Structure 1
Amino acid sequence: MAKISPTSIKYSIVADFVAEGPFQKPDVIGALFGQTEGLLGSEMELRELQKEGKIGRIEVDLKTEGGKTTGEVIIPSALDKTETTIIAAALETIDKIGPTDAKITVREVEDVRGSKRDYIMERAKQLLSGISNEGMDSTEIENELRESTRTAKVTEYGGERLPAGPDIDSSDEVIVVEGRADVVNLLKYGIKNVIGMDGTKLPAEIAKLGEKKELTLFVDGDRGGKLIAKNVCDNANVKHITSAPDGKEVEELTGKEIRQVLRKKVSASVFLKGSDFSSGRDSDKKESLVGGKKRELTKEDRSELRGMASEIKGKNVLVLDDNLKVVKNVPASKLRFLDVTNAFVLMAETATRTVVEGAEKLGVRGVAAKAFGKFSETDIELISL
């Protein structure tokens, strides 16, 4: 197995888990590898990524009290931030550890390089102050002072200590970016009303800002950026959205590019409905399936669904309309991103908690499956295939 060099680590995924029964650390590792297998394709298999040295040793810390087990998982990553956040999101699809039901929540995706850069800057200042000015290159001094001034503008906002510019409180508009590196780049070009989410999960502080200020979301020009836009809009009042040019990240844009992109911002609804967002094989665009009020499931419906059982493949879920026609074939983890107006029935190999929760969100009449996992009571009709 290839070992990941500490110097290669870019990000660290930190996730919390809670389960209703006791188990050991190997059970957690087994769940991470086993339940994400086949979910993201062979190139993103955790086991293969670890063999290739693209993710490091997975650290697990747990404790069991009163029959309940809680703990923390830390996964170091040498992947880029888009791939790392996809891995992080995949962890939240795990619903069982060992023999017990479990829930995993990603607490943060930390940019390890950010803390290293902070240390480098502070230490460089100390070393610079101890060097005699005699013989120093004036250009080096100028660059050091400029960099020091730029870094000094990064502040910590709110109880969550989010990276931000100094004008958050005084500005009527706030630009929301993904991480600290994005904040630093915007500050470099004089944009001070900027705040970073510092991870993939939308912080409560930013949601609160959306209640009193106009939020503009500025995301990377890749699929990860578009998924983040969808998630943020589901959880906060976002006025406008804009994205970096295709294939570029916010942290690498020049000042000219940043201003051009910000001038092209559009309303959140237009961005989410636009063709750029809908392109690609895993489109999360809001769909509108023609249909009216959902009818009741009939005996004939249930019989026909049983006859369609062979169409279910792997861990995917079939979304059927009220004519029992397949309109969507997606992984269970994608159900929460769908927004269809009259999905009628879901079909799955196993009706897990994730599938049932997705069914409740979509408002379907029933869930048809060959097996049923453990989940809380639901009003949705369950049909055994």
Structure 2
Amino acid sequence: MQNVDTTKYVIYADITAEGIVERPDVVGAIFGQTEGLLGSDLDLRDLQKTGRLGRIDVQITSSGGKSGGTISIPSSFDKVETAILAAALETIDRVGPCIARIAINRIEDVRASKRKYVIERAKRILVEMFDENILETEEITEEIKQSVRVEEIIHLGKDNLPAGPNVLDSDAILVVEGRADVLNLLKYGIKNAVAVGGTNVPPTIADLCAKKVVTAFTDGDRGGELIVKELLQVADIDYVARAPEGKSVEDMTQKEIVRALRQKIPVEQVLDQYKIKNQPRKRREITTKRKSLIRERPLCVRNATERAEAIAPRRIVPREVVPKVA
């Protein structure tokens, strides 16, 4: 019987016989034809009794009057003695009444197989168990930030649209597709984004767009293009920014977000591009004029005097003309 604690090698051999033979015939031939061949120290019967040699496993089938199969023998000897035993098997030329041939296929190092298993299993344990329970400092920090960002999200209107905390107070807002986009923008400190939640633009978005300078910031796919088209028809947006082709806003890095917003294009260009008839011209002119005042309003006004100076029209003072000296 194979001793799994001491087995070092397993001998694998192929057997062919010119006739029909069965497992007991093969085992008998192995013991009988190697007896006395290698001396008393390497007698297979004695080695199996002492546990130095494992159980001889034979798998054999017969077809068309011939037999063929495999033999495996576990060994706890070192390389040299195991090689001698393997060579002894190839001296067997008969099994029962049939001519037979045994050829060594390979000798497997059980310890190497175990080492390979240990390495692969250790990798899986490291990934599946340690990574789930042990967080690095950066991961702990990111997890806390993520929790804070989720708490910062508010919900607007009867449609309960996910939005950043500064949407209502900001003069300019970003309209994105979903909650994940709002979260990703919050990650980089952009708190004036609101999500439409799908291609069906809700009334809350239309009301917001009428009061603020709006940039539609959508994914770089077909869905993002459809949302832009619907916003152009039902809401008053001012600019359009798109994620890179095939990428979502929720997956963008800070640099990619900044680059995309810098490359936003005015809504007039987008209307021409999609050949969409937006609002009546008169209404559009009124809205554009109102929003232009929002864009031009000073960002930092400390007191009433500065506010008055900021919104007052500038007076043009002619420069004094100094005559040229001939």
| TM-score exceeds 0.5 | no
TM-score normalised by the chain length of structure 2: 0.42
Normalised by the length of structure 1, the TM-score is: 0.36
**Greater relative contact order structure (CA < 8 Å, 6+ sep):** 2
Indicate the structure (1 or 2) with the bigger Cα radius of gyration: 2
Structure 1 or 2: more helix by fraction: 2
